[in-house]
Amino acid sequence: MADKTLSLPRPRLLSGEQIAQIHEAGVRILTEHGLRVHHEGALATCARAGLQVREGRVFPTRREIEGFISETKARPRQRPAGDDPPGREIVLGVGQYATTVHDLDSDALVPMTAARLIEAAKFADAMTSRNLIARAPGVPVDVAPDLQPVLQYRISAEHCRHGRTPPEVRSPQAMPYVMDMADALGEPMRGQPIYVVTPLTVGSDSFACALAGRDRLQSVWVSDMLSVGGTAPIRIAEALALAVAEVVGGGIVAREVVGLPVEWSIRACPLDMRTMAMSLGSPEELLFQWASEEVNASYRDEEPGPPGGSLHTQAKLPGPQAAAERMSQLSVGALFGTRSFGGAGRLSLDEVFSAEQLVIDCELRDHVERLIAGVDAACDPAASVAEVAAGLADGFPGLESTARRYRDTYWLPSLFERRPLAGWLNAGSPDLRQRAKAEVRERLARHEYELERDLRRELARIYAGAEAALAG
């Protein structure tokens, strides 16, 4: 089939005037309310750098704010992937935050122990043939909290071929051990996220981790996850203005205190006020993310990229809600150019890992890949007449051209049901979820990847040191 990949023009939610107003509001919020900093040493460093500090808050001036933004625009950046025409291939990645796992046998949710994380990591790696970037998809909760990211990284590297990338670290005590493992694996940690504690506060564990690793890092990235109507105003423009204030303020503080180049971006998230939980996976998430990216792009003097690729749902088990919300995110994102989606296999936002859901996510992805592939509508009148004549004589299903082109024309699902009712009943009424579970067990039984022996020994040595220091 000729390349007829579907790609829709990305509509704008915000006008240039609205973005300018959001920027002005953000500057005023930061200069008038300041940023609370929960770190005495950081406050002293900011004061020595000439920033205004009063009652535990840093108050950058308009000039300092605009200077920081100008530095952001002037810093060389990698060419955005969106500059290249997107192809058809969609890559999925698993999350890394789950503390609970969906048990296939009981359909219950159980704690993510180290043993269960090893099994989950092996299965995720066994899915790499389905175009999946696989790492350990959770955190082992049966060890001390400071030891969890170290063990998570060891499990990921030992059992996943993509597992050498370090996990996100939120424990400053664990930071040196994770960095040692990353060095041993040839994937040194170069950056660290710093999350602003919304509203208008910095000083979280991620900030402490950046301080703990600054001698070995090359940059930090500052962002937030404010909730519209919860930790921010209910009107999206005002929420975006608050996001600008706290992330720019956090970036200014991080630059002075951590002493490394700072990248930054805002993110507004939806909130279900009935449960006071973030409703990621909702239509509002896509809209708020869309608006956030338009504001972010304005500070980089770039065109907004495609919607960010994350598969979110608050569903706790595989089922209609998880499928509907993920298909919405996949379809909209892919049609506007997104080709990488994280969070495959995760449920309840990022609390649960489900191998069954991961198999279903790959089926959803394949469905959307076929959609964006489009159709080849080239028509040669003479050849068309001959094709119809042959079909009238022998039947179209029996033509050589039908057999040759069938798989290029149609996507053949492995889970979704296509048989008539009678055929499905005669086959024993197979259930999609049971077939997904059978695929999990089959792929897990075939898993073979193992990290090289010398690297396993080195990780074991580093982990032993971390266990002695952090196990409590």
Is residue 411 over pLDDT 80? Answer: yes
Sheet bearing 91-94, strands edge to edge? 132-133, 91-94, 340-344
pLDDT tens column, 177-236:
999 999 999 999 999 999 999 999 998 899 999 999 999 999 999 999 999 999 999 999
Angle, helices 40-48/236-258, rounded to nearest 10 degrees: 80
pLDDT tens column, 258-269:
999 999 999 999
What mean pLDDT comes out for the span 28-55?
A: 95
**Percentage of residues in the chain with pLDDT exceeding 90?**
87
Is residue 81 over pLDDT 80? Answer: no
Write the DSSP assignment of 9-73 as a string of letters: ----SS-HHHHHHHHHHHHHHHHHH-EEE--HHHHHHHHHTT-EEETTEEE--HHHHHHHHHHHH
**Percentage of residues in the chain with pLDDT exceeding 70?**
97
Q: What is the pLDDT of residue 67?
A: 96
Is residue 341 over pLDDT 50? Answer: yes
Is residue 84 over pLDDT 70? Answer: no
Structural tokens at position 389: 């004549």
Report phi then psi at 35, rounded to 5: -120, 120
Q: What is the pLDDT of residue 165?
A: 95
Cα gap 349→102, rounded to integer Å: 14
Cα gap 439→455, rounded to integer Å: 31
Is residue 243 over pLDDT 80? Answer: yes
Q: What is the pLDDT of residue 8?
A: 86
Q: What is the pLDDT of residue 88?
A: 81
CA atoms within 13 A on the CB side of 227: 13
Where do the domains of the chain lie, and which CATH numbers do they carry? 81-373+449-470 (3.20.20.480)
Is residue 1 over pLDDT 50? Answer: no
Q: What is the pLDDT of residue 202?
A: 93
Minimum mean pLDDT range among 73-87, 113-127, 445-459: 73-87
List the one residue out of 167, 160, 166, 215 whose CA is nearest residue 186. 166
Q: What is the pLDDT of residue 360?
A: 98
Q: What is the pLDDT of residue 80?
A: 45
- The one-letter code for the residue type at 381 is P
Residues 74/117, Cβ–Cβ less than 8 Å: no
pLDDT tens column, 166-180:
999 999 999 999 999
Q: What is the pLDDT of residue 82?
A: 43
Is residue 83 over pLDDT 50? Answer: no
pLDDT, averaged across the chain? 93
Other beta carbons within 10 angstroms of residue 288's beta carbon come to 24
Q: What is the pLDDT of residue 203?
A: 87
- To the nearest 10°, report the CA torsion of 295, 301, 303, 309: -60
Residues 122/357, Cβ–Cβ less than 8 Å: no
What mean pLDDT comes out for the span 101-126?
A: 97
